[in-house]
């Protein structure tokens, strides 16, 4: 069994290059079955095509954690197996949790009793929190199978920024009450924002708003094959159903996309893909790729990368500012202070779905299933009860629908609602044109009167018999 002292000697060996140090340490880590199983699980659960990169990220996390452990002389005689055993001693992860807290503070360069101070401290509270309370806690939870007590929470200082974001979001309300007292989308604001988004981002927006189980990264990892496999349903105006594992944490999810957003998916496919394209390609293309060109001198589409979440967030921010709903602000360039960022609409979906879960008396935690959270009920619905889940979704679909696209559907009531809405819009526009025409007629009468008055001033009131006045000639013309 590998002792931590041995790993420390490898990491501090001046005769080895960094690449060789990492390779040797990784060999020791992967020799432990529980570590190898965890790394493989993370790679399999990830939606990334580059599974080796996912494995490398996991090993990078653990190497950093080992640097913390070996900085304490008292830990050097521990083995990698001992780390697993001590975490499972009391069943609620007391020792593991204590190490996570110490690792968090150590990452920030703080003094920890018996530990050497790190020379490469983490720059931000958020990064330290991500490293310790997300990554290493996830390693203990999923790899070591430690069931942490509910009382174990992250440091308040690191999670404070989240509360600031919530307060900022509350200044721009996207959910209002309708005439019957139900919670509904503020369609006026949201449709104004939607109209200013690029076409690609409109499709992404529709999926996030109506299928909140997706984080933005999950949406950007939808494959062309995922859409092709459902074409026979989608062409009839049905729901796009997407099953998979969340990029964050690997939890399984099943999401239903509303019919108006499904229509946007089909239009995007028809305008950006051809039938021969690989099913394994990411569905949403970066801007330099299009239907008729490889865009970057590539021989085929095999190398088309996944669209970056930062690009999508940037385009959301531009549309938000242009709409006038969000003011330009230096902090909003970071994304989290933009009240119309992609993540905000996942929260909007969650708020509505939880409200209607209570209103319609759904079984416990159906909303958690829609959100892709880790729950026993999620497994049940995702595997055996799709029809039941669809029935629940149909109850709330109308509260998630925007009047931004005509849905191709054989259902008369859907088409009737769409036509009725368009007729009302045309009637309003017609009335507006009539009003403007009346204003123009009044203006013409005033101009004719002025011309007559100026004529009398210039030529006098007397004219040769039979000669038309300027006014009479103007009116005749």
**Burial label, 150 (beta-carbon count in 10 A; 0-12, 13-18, 19+):** exposed
Nearest to 243 by CA among 261, 257, 255: 255
Residues 6+ apart with CB under 8 A from 326: 172, 317, 320, 332, 338, 339, 340
**131, 61 in Cβ contact below 8 A?**
yes
pLDDT recorded at residue 196: 93
C-alpha 175/C-alpha 144 separation (Å) is 41
For residues 263 and 257, give the distance between their C-alpha atoms in angstroms, rounded to a whole number. 10
Q: Is the dihedral of CA 175, 177, 183, 189 positive or negative?
A: negative
Which phi and psi (to 5°) does residue 470 adopt? -60, -40
Are 160 and 134 spatial neighbours (Cβ–Cβ below 8 Å)?
no
Count CB-CB contacts under 10 A for residue 360: 11
**Which sequence spans correspond to the domains of the chain?**
4-158, 171-400, 412-476
Instruction: List beta partners, residue 79.
Output: 3
β-pairing, 240-245 vs 175-177, is unpaired
Element (H or E) spanning 21, and its range?
helix 18-30
What is the phi/psi pair of residue 19, to 5°? -65, -40
The CA distance from 333 to 341, in Å, is 11
Find out whether 378 and 253 touch, Cβ atoms under 8 Å.
yes
Going 199 to 202 to 204 to 210, the CA torsion angle's sign is negative
Q: At what angle do helices 386-397 and 376-384 cross, to 10 degrees?
A: 100
Give 81-112 as a DSSP string. HHHHHHHTSSSS-HHHHHHHHHHHHHHTT---
The model carries a pTM of 0.61
CB atoms within 10 A of CB 372: 26
In the chain (477 residues long), the average pLDDT of successive 10-residue segments reads 85 89 91 90 75 88 92 88 83 80 90 86 81 86 81 72 65 87 90 92 92 79 84 67 67 79 88 81 73 42 70 90 80 61 88 88 79 56 65 86 63 45 63 79 79 69 53 54
Q: Are 37 and 110 in contact (CB under 8 A)?
A: no
For the record, the structure tokens of 462 come out as 């007397």
* Residues in contact with 401: Cβ distance below 8 Å, sequence separation at least 6, in sequence order: 210, 258, 259, 260
- Give the DSSP letter of residue 74: G
Q: Which residues are CB-contacts of 378 (< 8 A; sequence separation ≥ 6)?
A: 251, 252, 253, 365, 368, 369, 372
Homologous superfamily (CATH) for 171-400? Intergrase catalytic core (1.10.443.10)
């Amino acid at each position: 069994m590998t002792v931590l002292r041995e790993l420390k000697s490898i990491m501090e060996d001046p005769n080895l290059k960094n690449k060789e140090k990492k390779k040797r340490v990784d060999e020791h880590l992967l020799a432990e079955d529980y570590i190898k199983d965890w790394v493989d699980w993370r790679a399999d659960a990830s939606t990334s095509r580059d599974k080796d990169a996912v494995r490398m990220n996991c090993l990078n996390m653990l190497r950093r954690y080992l640097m913390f452990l070996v900085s304490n002389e008292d830990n050097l005689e521990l083995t990698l197996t001992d780390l697993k055993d001590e975490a499972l001693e009391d069943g609620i992860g007391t020792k593991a949790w204590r190490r996570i807290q110490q690792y968090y503070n150590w990452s920030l360069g703080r003094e920890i009793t018996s530990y050497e101070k790190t020379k490469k401290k983490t720059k931000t509270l958020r990064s330290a929190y991500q490293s310790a309370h997300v990554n290493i806690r996830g390693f203990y939870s999923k790899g070591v199978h430690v069931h942490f007590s509910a009382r174990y929470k992250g440091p308040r200082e690191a999670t404070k920024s989240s509360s600031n974001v919530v307060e900022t979001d509350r200044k721009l309300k996207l959910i209002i009450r309708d005439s019957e007292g139900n919670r509904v989308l503020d369609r006026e604001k949201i449709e104004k924002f939607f109209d200013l988004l690029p076409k690609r981002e409109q499709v992404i927006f529709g999926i996030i708003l109506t299928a909140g189980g997706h984080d933005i990264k999950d949406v950007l990892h939808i494959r062309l094959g995922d859409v092709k496999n459902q074409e026979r349903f989608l062409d009839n105006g049905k729901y796009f159903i997407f099953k998979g594992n969340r990029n964050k944490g690997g939890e399984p999810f099943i999401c239903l996309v509303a019919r108006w957003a499904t229509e946007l998916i089909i239009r995007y496919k028809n305008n950006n893909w051809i039938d021969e394209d690989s099913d394994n390609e990411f569905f949403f293309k970066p801007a330099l790729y299009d239907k008729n060109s490889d865009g970057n001198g590539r021989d085929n589409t095999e190398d088309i990368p996944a669209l970056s979440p930062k690009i999508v967030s940037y385009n959301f921010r531009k549309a938000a500012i242009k709409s006038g709903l969000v003011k330009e602000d230096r902090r909003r360039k970071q994304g989290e202070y933009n009240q119309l960022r992609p993540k905000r609409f996942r929260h909007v979906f969650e708020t509505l779905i939880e409200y209607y879960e209570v209103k319609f008396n759904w079984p416990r935690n159906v909303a958690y299933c829609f959100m892709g959270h880790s729950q026993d009920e999620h497994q049940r619905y995702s595997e055996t009860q799709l029809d039941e889940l669809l029935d629940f979704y149909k109850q709330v679909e109308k509260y998630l629908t925007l009047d931004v696209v005509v849905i191709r559907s054989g259902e008369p009531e859907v088409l009737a609602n769409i036509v009725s809405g368009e007729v009302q819009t045309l009637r309003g526009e017609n009335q507006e044109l009539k009003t403007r025409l009346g204003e123009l007629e009044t203006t013409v009468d005033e101009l004719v009167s002025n011309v007559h008055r100026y004529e009398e001033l210039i030529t006098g009131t007397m004219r040769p018999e039979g000669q038309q006045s300027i006014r009479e000639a103007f009116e005749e013309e």
